[in-house]
Structure 1
Amino acid sequence: MKRMILAMALMGLLASGTAWAAEAEATLDLNSAYVWRGITFNNGWVVQPGLDVTTGGFGINVWGNFDLDDYNDTLDKNNFSEVDITLSYSFAIERLEIGVGLIEYLFPAGGAGTRELFVGLGLPLFGGLSAAWNFYYDVDEVHSYYTEVSLAYVMALMAGLEMEVGAKAGFAGKDFALAYSAAATDGGFYDYGFSLGLSYSVTDALNLGAAVHYVNTLDKDVLPRADIANGIYGLDTEWVAGLTISYSF
C-alpha cells in the first residue's frame, strides 16, 4: 500500500508540474475475462483502470484489476485483486524504440507480491506493420523469465477510426512456468495469441475502442490447462472481448 501511495503522489507531481512538461492518460477497460500471458486469473467480467504519466522519456503507470465476477470461489467479486506499478524509461536509436523498467505486482486481496525488470524493443517495419520483443525477469519471488515477440498492423479505415491486427508468442523459463501452475513440468514455448481491435478518436483527447483476443498454449507441459477446483491455474479462457475508453490530458 505504501508503494501505491508513493506512486500516485509521483504521478500527481509529474502531471501537475508544468516545468516537467508531462503528459498523462487515464484508461478504463471492461473485459469479459482477465488473462495474463495465457494464464486465466478470472474467466468472468473485470474492470481495469489505469493512469499513465510520462515526461522526458520517464514514465510511471498504475494499473488495477477489479473483479466483477468471482472465479470458482478462488477470489471474491467486487474487489481489487491486483494493482501493478510500473516505472520506465524509453528512448530511440534511429527507428528502434527501446524501453526499460520495473514492474511491482501487488495483490490486495491476498498473495505474495513480486517484481520484474523488463526491457523492450519496438521497430516499425513498413506501412502500418511493426514488430516488438519484450523480456521480463522476476527478481523477487520467481527468479525466472518470460519473453515474447509480437507483430502488429494498424490501418486507418476512415477519419478517426483505426483497425489493429496483432499476433504474439511467448517463451518462459522453467521456474516461471512452475511458479504459475502446479501442473507445469518444464519451461519452453508458452502461449500464443491473436487480436483484432478498433479505435475511434472522438476528440484529440478522448478515444473509444473495442477488441477481441484469442489465446492458447504452445506446450501443455509448460502452460497446462487450468483445473481451478483442484487449485491448478493455467489456460482456462481462450476468448476475451473488451471495451476501452481513454482520455489524455
Structure 2
Amino acid sequence: MKKRIMMIMAAGLAAGVVHAADVSATADFASAYIFRGVTLNDGLVFQPGAKISGFPIPAEYGSIAVGTWANYDIGDYGGTLEKKFSEIDYYATYTLPVKVVDLSATYTEYTYPGGAATDKEVALSVGKGIGDTGLYTSLTANYGLGGAVDQNWYIQGALGYTKALTETLTFTSGVTVGYAIKDVGDDGFQDGVGKVGLSYALTKNWAINGSLNYVAQLDDNVLPDATSGVPGSGYDTPVYGTLGLSCTF
C-alpha cells in the first residue's frame, strides 16, 4: 500500500510539473539549410522544433528550458540524404537569475542519423533590450566539446528589432555577425546574416511566420566557397526564405 501511495504521489507530481511548464513548438519550411554561413542543403527542407520551459523553479534559482530541433531534407543536395532526417539536435538552457542583463548557458548535441559523429557544444549568451525601442542586442560565445566542432570557438554578435504593426501582425528584423576561432584553419570573421520577417497571430496560441534572409561571406579564407555538390563544404547560398507555424501551450 505504501509503495502504491508513493507511486500515485510521484505521478501526481510529474503531472503537476508538466502542467506548470510552458510548451512551444515550431514547424518551418525553408528554401535552404544554412548554418553559420555553411550550406548544408540548397534545396527545400522541413525543420520542426519543440521546447519546454517555465518549470516550477523558484525565481531566485533562475530557469531551465529543454528542447529539440531537426532538419528533414525534402530536396537533395549532393550527397545529402533526400527525404530523410539529416540532423536532430537536443539542448538544455539554464538562464541565470540576473536582472541587469539576460544571461544564459546552453549545452547542445547535434546528432546525425546518417552516421556522422555527434557534435557537442556549450554556449554562454548575454543579451539586453534597449529601453522601449524594440531593439535587442546579444553576444554569444560557442565552444565545441566534441565532433567536428571540437575545440572551435564561434562568437556571434546580434542586433534584433521587433515592432507590432497591428494587434495580430508583428514585424521583425535583425543582423548577426559571426567570428570563428578554429583549432585547425584560419581565424576571422566568418559570416553575416540580415533578416526581415513577419508573424501573424492566428489565435492566442498559434501564429504563422515567414522570413527572408541574406547570408554574407565575410572572409573566404575562414568560410571558403563550397565544393560543387558537397554538403557542408562551404558558402554556396546567399539568400533563403522560411515559412512556418508556431504554437504555445
Q: TM-score, normalised by structure 2?
A: 0.86
Among 141, 147, 152, the residue aligned to 1:135: 141
1:17 match: secondary structure: helix
CA apart distance, 1:204 = 1.5
Residue 58 (structure 1) aligned with residue 64 (structure 2): yes
Q: Deviations over 1:9-65 (max 9, x none)?
A: xxxx9xx73235110011101000000010000000000011100124111111100
Query: Hey, what does 2:122 align to over in structure 1?
Result: 117
Among 157, 175, 179, the residue aligned to 1:167: 175
CA apart distance, 1:227 = 1.1
Distance 1:161 1:136, change over 3 A: same
Q: Which amino acid aligns with 2:127?
A: G
Distance 1:229 1:156, change over 3 A: closer
Q: Which runs of 5+ in 1 are unaligned?
A: 1-12, 179-184
Residues of 2 paired with 1:97 and 1:151: CA distance? 14
Q: Which amino acid aligns with 2:151?
A: H
Q: Which amino acid aligns with 1:133?
A: L
Query: Hey, what does 1:243 align to over in structure 2?
Result: 243
Residue 23 (structure 1) aligned with residue 22 (structure 2): yes
The answer as to whether partners of 2:141 and 2:153 remain within 8 angstroms in 1 is yes
Please, what is the CA RMSD of the aligned residues?
1.7
Alignment of 1:1-249 (within 5 A): 17-19=15-17, 21-54=20-53, 55=55, 56=57, 57-72=63-78, 74-126=79-131, 127-141=133-147, 142-175=150-183, 178=184, 185-229=185-229, 233-249=233-249
CA apart distance, 1:113 = 1.0
Q: Deviations over 1:140-170 (max 9, x none)?
A: 1221110100000111111111101100100
Distance 1:71 1:230, change over 3 A: closer
Residues of 1 paired with 2:68 and 2:140: CA distance? 19
Residues of 1 paired with 2:45 and 2:24: CA distance? 20
1:28 match: secondary structure: strand
Q: TM-score, normalised by structure 1?
A: 0.86
CA apart distance, 1:210 = 0.5
The answer as to whether partners of 1:95 and 1:124 remain within 8 angstroms in 2 is no
Residues of 2 paired with 1:47 and 1:128: CA distance? 30
The answer as to whether partners of 1:88 and 1:100 remain within 8 angstroms in 2 is yes
Q: Which has the larger radius of gyration?
A: 2
**Could you list the runs of 4 or more consecutive aligned residues of structure 1 that deviate by over 6 angstroms after TM superposition?**
none
The answer as to whether partners of 2:41 and 2:231 remain within 8 angstroms in 1 is no
CA apart distance, 1:91 = 3.2
The answer as to whether partners of 2:45 and 2:74 remain within 8 angstroms in 1 is yes
Residues of 2 paired with 1:90 and 1:36: CA distance? 24
Identity %: 31
